[in-house]
Amino acid sequence: MTESSDQNRSLSEAQRRAVRQMLRIAPVADELGERFNNAGHDLALVGGSVRDAFLDRLGQDLDFTTSARPDESKRLLSGWADHLWDVGQAYGTIGASKAGFQIEVTTYRSDVYDRASRKPAVTYGDSIEEDLVRRDFTVNAMALKLPSREFVDPHAGLADLGNKIIRTPGTPESSFSDDPLRMMRAARFAAQLGFDVAPEVVKAMRDMADRLDIISAERVRDELTKMILSDRPRTGLTLLVDTGLADRVLPELPALRLEIDEHHRHKDVYEHSLTVLEQAIELEHRLPGGSPDLVARLAALLHDIGKPRTRRFESGGGVSFHHHDVVGAKLARKRLTKLRYPASVVDAVSKLTELHLRFHGYGTGQWTDSAVRRYVRDAGDLLEQLHVLTRSDCTTRNPRKAQALQRSYDDLENRIERLQEEEELAKIRPDLDGNQIMSILGIEPGPLVGKASKHMLEVRMDKGPLSEDDARAELLKWWAEQQES
C-alpha cells in the first residue's frame, strides 16, 4: 500500500469519527448555530473541538467562534444556556453550559504581543479566515460552520492531522512572535497527540527560545503541567531540552545531561530521570484513583536535580553525589515556587525528593520496626507516592539486581502493611497525651509539655505501643534525666 493510500485511509477513518462525534453534539451545536444565524451572525465549531472530533476524543467542552461581538454573544446565550458566565469577556469570550456541555463562544480576533508585554492586545476580526490564520497550529485551524456544517480548512489542517504533524498556519516565526507560549504548546501537543513537529517549527523554537521570557510564570506552568500529565511527557520534555526552551523554563533538567550516573546504568542522569518518569507513569495504577498524578510525576522527573551541585570525583575514579537528595529538595522547592505551583504541590514534591533515597538503607530487611515506623511517619500522606517513586528509581539493566530491589521493597511494603494493621501507623500518637503528661510531672502548660510529648512520640516509634504504666515509667525516666542536665 502506498503512502498516499495510507493517508487517504487515515483521513477517511478520521472523517467517520468526526461524523459520529458531530451526531452526538448536534442537538446543542445546531440549535446554537440557528440562534446566531437568525440574529445575522456567523457561528462555527472551531479549534481543538474540531481536531478532537476527528481524533474521536471530543469531550464535553465545545469551542465556538463567531462574528458577533461579546455583548451580542452574551445576549444570544442568555435565556438559552443553563448557566452563563462572562469572566473572559475582556478577551472576547463568553462561557455557558447547556445540557451537560461546557461552551465557550469567542469573537473572531487577532492576538498580537508587544515584545515587552506579558498579555495579548485583543483586536476583533471580521471573518473566520482571519480568525483561523491567527490560530497556533494547522490542526487547530479548522472550523465547521453552523448550522450549515460547511467544513473550513484553509491551511490543510486535516492533511496534517492525517500525517500526524504539527505545523503553523503562517510562518512559525510570525506565530511565535504573536504568542511565544505557542513554542511550549508545540511540545505539549507532540506529547499529548504523539505527533511530530515540523522541522521549520523546531528551528523557530530554537531560534526564538528567549522570547519565552515575556510570558507569565502562570501560563508557562499551565503548559508544563499539561505536558507532564500527557501520555508521552518524554516527547515534549525532550523537545524543550533540544530547542533550548527548557533552559528558560526548567534549567535543572538539561543540566542533568552533563552528569554521569554513578552506577553507569545510563549514559547520563538526564536519561535516567526521563526513564524514572516513564516508570512512575506505569505504576500510577497503584495510587488512589489511578489517574495521572502531577506530584508523583514531578517528583520522578526532579528527584535527582541535586546531582549537578553535589558531584564529586573520587580518588579511585568513581563519582559521588552525597546529599543530592537534600540539595535536590531545596532546588525543587525553589523552581516550583518560581513557576507559581501551589504550596501543596511544592511541599509534596520537595518532600518526596528528600525522601527518595531513604529506602536504600533498608538492605535485605535489616530495618527495625522502629525504622519502618519512622519511614511511614516521615512520608505521611505521601506514602503511596513514595512507594511509586522509589520503585521507579530502579533503572538498572541487571535483571538480578532489579529483582533483588523489587523483593526488598515488596518486603518493606508487607512490613508496613502488617504494622499498619497492628498499630494504625497513620494515626501514631504518643502513648500519653498533654493532660496526662502535665498530671504525671506536675507541670503547667508550656514548652516543657511539648518537649515531653515529642520525647514520648520517639519512644512510641522505637518501642511500639506501651501500656500506661510503661509509658509513665518512660516519661519519669526522661524527666529525671532533664533534672540532672
For 12-53, what is each residue's pLDDT tens digit? 777 788 888 888 899 999 999 999 999 999 999 999 999 999
**C-beta atoms surrounding 433 within 10 Å:** 13
Q: Is the pLDDT of residue 369 over 50?
A: yes
Domains and CATH numbers, the chain: 3-163 (3.30.460.10), 164-249 (1.10.110.30), 259-427 (1.10.3210), 434-484 (no CATH)
For 222-242, what is each residue's pLDDT tens digit? 999 999 999 999 999 999 999
Using the Cα atoms of residue 269, residue 275, residue 279 and residue 280 in order, give the sign of their dihedral: positive
Quick one: pLDDT at residue 477?
A: 85
The set of cell numbers assigned to 65 is 467562534
**C-beta atoms surrounding 193 within 10 Å:** 20
Q: Which residue blocks in 39-69 are alpha helix, DSSP H?
A: 48-54
Nearest to residue 474, comparing CAs of 448, 441, 445?
A: 441
Mean pLDDT of 304-317: 84
Backbone angles phi, psi at 81, to 5 degrees: -75, 155
Determine the 3-state secondary structure of 113 from DSSP: coil
Residue owning grid cell 549514559: 267
Determine the 3-state secondary structure of 85 from DSSP: strand
Quick one: pLDDT at residue 266?
A: 43
For 415-435, what is each residue's pLDDT tens digit? 988 887 766 655 667 777 888
